[in-house]
Amino acid sequence: MESRAKILGHPAHQMLIVFPLGLLGTSVIFDLIYWFTGNPTFAQVGFWMTVSGIIGGLIASPFGTIDWLAIPQGTRAKRVGLLHGGGNFLVTALFALSAYLRWGRTGHEPDGFTLILSLTGFLLALVTGWLGGELVDRLGVGVDDGANLDAPSSLSGRKASERVTGDERGRVF
C-alpha cells in the first residue's frame, strides 16, 4: 500500500520519524549520564533534546495519520497502525509531561519521577517502533506498489513496477 503523504516520492512519515525517535532516546541517555555524574550540562542537553523530540514527533504524526486513514478497515494493518499511533501518542505525552515538570527548574534537572516518565516513554517507543516496522516491513504499508530490486528512482517519475534497463542499473538517481 503506497503512502498517501510523500516528499520527493518517499513516505514522509518514515523519513521524519527518525528525528524524534533518536532525540527522545538520546535524551534519556543524557539524563542518565546527569544522574551518574551530577554534571548539569547533561541535564540541559537532555531537556532540550526532549523538547526537540516532542516537536519532531508532532511534525511527523500527521503524515502517519494520513497513511493510517488510507489503510482499509478490518485489516491487521489497521489494528497494528492504531496501536502504533496510539502508543506513540502516549510516548509523546510521557515525554511532554516530563519536560513540563522540568521546565521551571534551574538547569532543567530531572528528578526520579521525570526520569521514570522518560524511561517509560523510551521503553514504549521501542514497542511502537517495532510496530512501525511491522507495518512497513511485514504488512507493506508505505511501500510503493510494484516495488522491486530493479525499480527506477522515485525522482524519475516512473512507476516502481517498471524495471530499469542495463544502462540504468549503475545509476543512483
pLDDT confidence band for 17 (50 / 70 / 90) = very high
* Cα dihedral value 76, 77, 83, 85, nearest 10: -170
The answer to whether residues 100 and 168 belong to one domain is: no
150 and 135 co-located in one domain: no
What is the domain count for the chain? 2
Residue 148 has pLDDT above 70, yes or no: yes
Q: Are residues 64 and 134 in the same domain?
A: yes
**Residue 121 domain flag:** yes
List all residues 6 or more positions away from 112 whose beta carbon is below 8 Å from its beta carbon: none
Residue 84 lies in a domain: yes
Residues 151 and 130 in one domain: no
Both 106 and 158 in one domain: the answer is: no
Task: Burial-class residue 12 by CB neighbours within 10 Å (0-12, 13-18, 19+).
Answer: buried
Note whether 117 and 170 are same-domain residues.
no
Contact 73/54 with Cβ under 8 angstroms? no
- Among 12-16, 74-78, 142-146, the minimum mean pLDDT is found in 142-146
55 domain-assigned: yes
Chain-centroid distance of CA 39 in Å reads 29
pLDDT tens figures, 82-133: 999 999 999 999 999 999 999 988 889 999 999 999 999 999 999 999 999 9
Predicted confidence at residue 106, as pLDDT, reads 82
**Does 1 reside within a domain?**
no
- pLDDT of amino acid 170: 62
pTM of the model: 0.88
Is residue 116 assigned to a domain? yes
Q: Is residue 18 part of a domain?
A: yes
Same domain, 138 and 157: no
- At residue 116, the pLDDT reads 97
- Whether 80 is in a domain gets the answer yes
Residues 26 and 92 in one domain: yes
Together in a domain, 66 and 27: yes
Q: How confident is the model at residue 144 (pLDDT cuts 50, 70, 90)?
A: confident
Domain hosting 155: range is: 146-173
Per-residue pLDDT, 141: 92
Q: Are residues 72 and 131 in the same domain?
A: yes
Kindly tell me if the per-residue pLDDT of 77 is higher than 90. yes
- Both 123 and 172 in one domain: the answer is no
Are 120 and 161 in a shared domain? no
Say if 103 falls within a structural domain: yes
